[in-house]
A and B are shown apart, each in its own frame.
Chain A
Amino acid sequence: MSSETDSTTKTDLTDASESSRQPSFEQVSRTKDVAFRWLTLAAALVGIVALAALLLNVLVDALAIFDPANGPWVDWQFLTNPPSFSNPYDAGFFPAIVGSIALMILIALITFPLGVGAAIYLEEYASDGPLTRFIQLNIANLAGVPSVVYGLLGLGLFVGLLNIGFGTLLVAGFTVSLLILPIVIISAQEAIRSVPDSQRQASYGMGATKWQTIRNVVLPRAMPGILTGTILALGRAIGETAPLIMIGAPTAVFGVPNSLFSKISAMPMQIYTWADLPETEFQYGVVAAGVVTLLVILLSINSIAIVIRNRYQTQE
């Protein structure tokens, strides 16, 4: 084959079949792609916008930005005074804050050992039988039971049957503990399950017993996850109002609890009571101040959870 014929053939080919032989990479329609992108973005923004609006609204009310004459509703006096139901400018949140914190400590003391214990049993000891699956299914279901139902249980069991007394710290602690226990168990189970099996094998291979393996290998590795889950569940616990109403927590508590049998108030409970009063100063100013305080405490708790998780993660 001569080079002349060769080049001629080539030219011919190119000329004759430019459109048919060369691959085509024309623009593919992206209309749906673009439309879907904006739709999903909008879906993602709904939550953010709602949260921003809520925060802005309560902040404006709580800081009395449009009514600077009286100063902000959230101030030192609000945080340290007992509540008032007649004079909004005197109203304070102190017993409710202390009540919520005491309640939270009690709930932590109850749910942490119970929740971690149940999770260890289900993940490490229980064999996969019908009983285990039954327990597991029930825990998952309990996590979805409305809180008002737990309130009813607390009322019947702790107030009615065990006669511990309406609206006491102990009854509130037990009731809300039952409410968040399934969440604590499930998150602790997830944390325990995420410990790689190779770690357990290494421990058993060294002649460690089950308990030694759990204590030395499984729990240390699962602890950040367990703590994160527990703290987030506690965050949910301090926001609960319905169970407190059901067990008869009083609408007005002027002092801090001094025993497990003291009647207590809690932040959401106090906010709810104020919102019921006819004066607009209560309905907007004082309630907003309470909401801001509650949110700040909640967000602080959640950030503690994040800090704990990050600190353990960087250690590994």
Chain B
Amino acid sequence: MTQRTTTQTPTDRTDDRPTNEQATDAEPATDRSGSVADPVIESRDLDVYYGDDQALQNISFEIPEQQVTALIGPSGCGKSTFLRSINRMNDLIDVARVEGDLFFRGKNVYDDDVDPVALRRKIGMVFQKPNPFPKSIYDNVAYGLRVQGEDDGDLDEQVHTALERAALLDEVEGQLDTSGLELSGGQQQRLCIARAIAPDPEVILMDEPASALDPVATSKIEDLVEELAEEYTVVIVTHNMQQAARISDKTAVFLTGGRLVEFDDTDKIFENPEHDRVEDYITGKFG
């Protein structure tokens, strides 16, 4: 696989940028090697600020379709911030400010004519702590369909399909009207995944979805993530490097200061990273 890699450090940033843009303009999408389709999400020189603090600096890379892309890095490196800037959840924070471009299927999501509510209907999200609503399992899964006005079809069928895809149907069949809060933590998180995929988004963002779960529940979530990548593009933030190595196709390494240091195939990142700092991080020398 010869996916173009974008590496950035403070020193080569200025040199890198023109190359980057040139590459994007010059190479048509088809050129970018056979097995990888068009990038679904493309970040170009993205900066995010919280008030006066810069949380992300000059992030540029492309997230391929129907693969699992992992974002790893130490706490406070900006990986969650990046995830939340994809579906504009950062808009909900008053002090957050975004500069640069973030394209979703070629459309800059920060253009004036983009409604973040409409954007989020194409990009589902799963959070760190399972956060089902205090409603029935059925109503939890149907929530997205209902708020998006897509509940006129066969709602029962859509709910069942989503639960099945989230590998939860077998465990909850026949008790769909019990509260989602009565499930175990791992089941709740799969319920949240079912809720996220029910309206059939194109991308699923996951913000450390297994960090609050026990090992068994975690491994179920990991299996699920790999299955989901057959139909969806998955971007997953994780603290757990083994998890990134197990489930992702691509890995982006963010290091302190909100910089993307390396982005490449997961195998390459974990076996032979270009940057010493990435190697140090991955081998546990810091972070």
Interface residues of A (CB under 8 A from B): 127-128, 196, 198-209, 212, 216-217, 220-221, 315-316
A198 to B192 Cα, complex, angstroms:
12
Between A and B, 18 residue pairs with Cβ closer than 8 Å are A199-B131, A201-B89, A202-B133, A202-B195, A204-B120, A205-B87, A205-B127, A206-B120, A206-B199, A207-B118, A207-B119, A207-B121, A207-B147, A208-B117, A208-B144, A208-B147, A212-B147, A316-B179
Q: Are B120 and A207 in contact (CB under 8 A)?
A: yes
A199 to B129 Cα, complex, angstroms:
11
Q: How many A-B residue pairs have CB under 8 A?
A: 70
Q: What residues of chain B lie closer than 8 Å to A198, measured between beta carbons?
A: 127, 129, 131
Q: Are B134 and A206 in contact (CB under 8 A)?
A: no
A216 to B131 Cα, complex, angstroms:
14
Instruction: Confirm or deny: B125 has a beta carbon within 8 angstroms of a beta carbon on chain A.
Output: yes
A203 to B143 Cα, complex, angstroms:
8
Instruction: Please pick, from A127, A202, A204, A212, the residue contacting B192 in the complex, using a CB distance under 8 A.
Output: A202
Q: Are B120 and A205 in contact (CB under 8 A)?
A: yes
Instruction: Please pick, from B92, B132, B179, the residue contacting A201 in the complex, using a CB distance under 8 A.
Output: B92
Interface residues of B (CB under 8 A from A): 87, 89, 92, 94, 117-121, 124-125, 127, 129, 131-134, 143-144, 147-148, 179, 181, 192, 195-196, 199
Q: Are B199 and A221 in contact (CB under 8 A)?
A: no
Instruction: Please pick, from B92, B94, B119, B131, the residue contacting A202 in the complex, using a CB distance under 8 A.
Output: B131
CB-CB under 8 A for A206 and B118, given A198-B131, A201-B92: no
Q: Are A206 and B127 in contact (CB under 8 A)?
A: no
Q: What residues of chain B lie closer than 8 Å to A315, measured between beta carbons?
A: 134
Q: Are A205 and B125 in contact (CB under 8 A)?
A: yes
CB-CB under 8 A for A216 and B147, given A198-B129, A205-B89, A206-B124: yes
Count chain B CB atoms within 10 A of each CB in A200, A208, A315 and give the residue with the most: A208
Closest to A209 in B: B117
Closest to B125 in A: A205
Q: What residues of chain A lie closer than 8 Å to B132, measured between beta carbons?
A: 202
Q: Are A206 and B129 in contact (CB under 8 A)?
A: no
Shortest C-beta distance, B117 to chain A (Å), equals 5
Given A201-B92, A203-B143, A207-B147, 10 further pairs, Cβ under 8 A: A128-B94, A203-B147, A204-B89, A204-B120, A205-B89, A206-B121, A206-B125, A206-B195, A207-B119, A207-B121
Count chain B CB atoms within 10 A of each CB in A196, A202, A206, A209 and give the residue with the most: A206
Q: Are B134 and A221 in contact (CB under 8 A)?
A: yes
Shortest C-beta distance, B272 to chain A (Å), equals 36
Q: What residues of chain B lie closer than 8 Å to A201, measured between beta carbons?
A: 89, 92, 127, 131
Q: Are B125 and A199 in contact (CB under 8 A)?
A: no
Q: Are A205 and B94 in contact (CB under 8 A)?
A: no
CB-CB under 8 A for A206 and B94, given A201-B131, A316-B134, A316-B181: no
Q: What residues of chain A lie closer than 8 Å to B196, measured between beta carbons?
A: 205-206
